[in-house]
Amino acid sequence: MEKIHGLINAPFTPFHEDGSLNLEPIPAYAALLARNGLKGVFINGSSGEGYMLTEEERMQLAETWMDAASKVKTTKGEDFKVIVHVGSTSVTSSRRLAAHAQKIGAWGIGAMATPFPKIGSVEQLCQYCENIACGAPELPFYYYHIPAFNGAFLSMYEFLKAADGRIPNLAGIKYTFESLYEYNRCRRYKNGKFDMLHGQDETILPCLAMGGAQGGIGGTTNYNGCNLVGIIDAWEAGDLEKARELQNFSQDVIDVICNFRGNIVGGKRIMKLIGLDLGPNRVPFMTVTDEEEVELKRQLEAINFFERCNK
């Protein structure tokens, strides 16, 4: 299967003030991401508040992103990829979403482990992924490893061993966890058989330095993608000092959003500050207040964010 080179963005889902889905910003959203160096999108995941969306809303978003993606190219003239997160507490629903993604021509699908019931073994995880991936047998399937969200603190190396050959369209893992050792161990499995997409924007450079990391899926790439893409560009050019500076700046940005309930909440409000208002968050997330927005802007100005962010 084709491996992803560069960074894919995990977009936020736009809502109207009344909480209903707002599809209008998506074409401009896709254009912003493409011109800042992103290779595509991984929609309806954690950044996109996917578990708070109905099936119909998730399908509407997928169709709208597919249309928007068809009208833009990456900075290198490539097609803009759309990967659809189809994970759900209902495997039946997930299969339906996977089949829909395949029908509309998405590039790939992915799923994180369900937050309920908690998956407690590699065998359970294999069964869960197997039952979803078969809904779109023609598309690459990525397991989205983010145990902080669902408690599935399982060995991804053992998962690859168990799923290898069992899930025919398993492409790899979106790895959003702190263990760089395990990430690299999975990357080296069978001489790099699977696509290991790095999922933590704060540690892109270490994964490059360990050797072999090629692609990733980020959340702060929504508004800081040009700098995160720049880390990879500087590394490939042999400019370690520039790569370090960009990684450190990107960590400064993350330090700020951690003061405002993280990327899903604080990061989404940053999109308004850079000119693309994506509306509030859905309950139970607590949307940034007007007073908090003033402080968020002040902290971003203190690190010269607006001179360096996505344009």
What range does the domain containing 22 cover? 6-243
Tell me the pLDDT band of 274, cut-offs 50, 70 and 90: very high
pLDDT of residue 275: 98
pLDDT of residue 210: 85
CATH (domain of 164): 3.20.20.70
Instruction: Count up the domains in the chain and report the number.
Output: 1
How confident is the model over 157-181, as pLDDT tens digits? 999 999 999 999 999 999 999 999 9
In a domain, 198, yes or no: yes
In a domain, 1, yes or no: no
DSSP the chain: -PPP-EEEE-PPPPB-TTS-B--TTHHHHHHHHHHTT--EEEESSTTTTGGGS-HHHHHHHHHHHHHHHTT-B-TTSPBPEEEEE---S-HHHHHHHHHHHHHTT-SEEEEEPPSSSPP-SHHHHHHHHHHHHTTSTTS-EEEEE-HHHH-----HHHHHHHHTTTSTTEEEEEE-SS-HHHHHHHHHGGGT-SEEEE--GGGHHHHHHHS---EEEESTHHHHHHHHHHHHHHHHTT-HHHHHHHHHHHHHHHHHHGGGTHIIIIIHHHHHHTT-----PPTTS-PPPHHHHHHHHHHHHHTTGGGTS--
> Which residue in 144, 175, 183, 223 is the catalytic one?
144
In a domain, 306, yes or no: no
Q: Does residue 223 have an active-site annotation? A: no
How confident is the model over 109-168, as pLDDT tens digits? 999 999 999 999 999 999 999 999 999 999 999 999 999 999 999 999 999 999 999 999
> Which residue in 39, 81, 174, 268 is the catalytic one?
174
In a domain, 221, yes or no: yes
Q: Does residue 144 have an active-site annotation? A: yes
In a domain, 34, yes or no: yes
Percent of the chain scoring above 90 in pLDDT? 98
Q: What is the pTM of this model?
A: 0.97
In a domain, 274, yes or no: no
In a domain, 179, yes or no: yes
How confident is the model over 38-89, as pLDDT tens digits? 999 999 999 999 999 999 999 999 999 999 999 999 999 999 999 999 999 9
In a domain, 291, yes or no: no
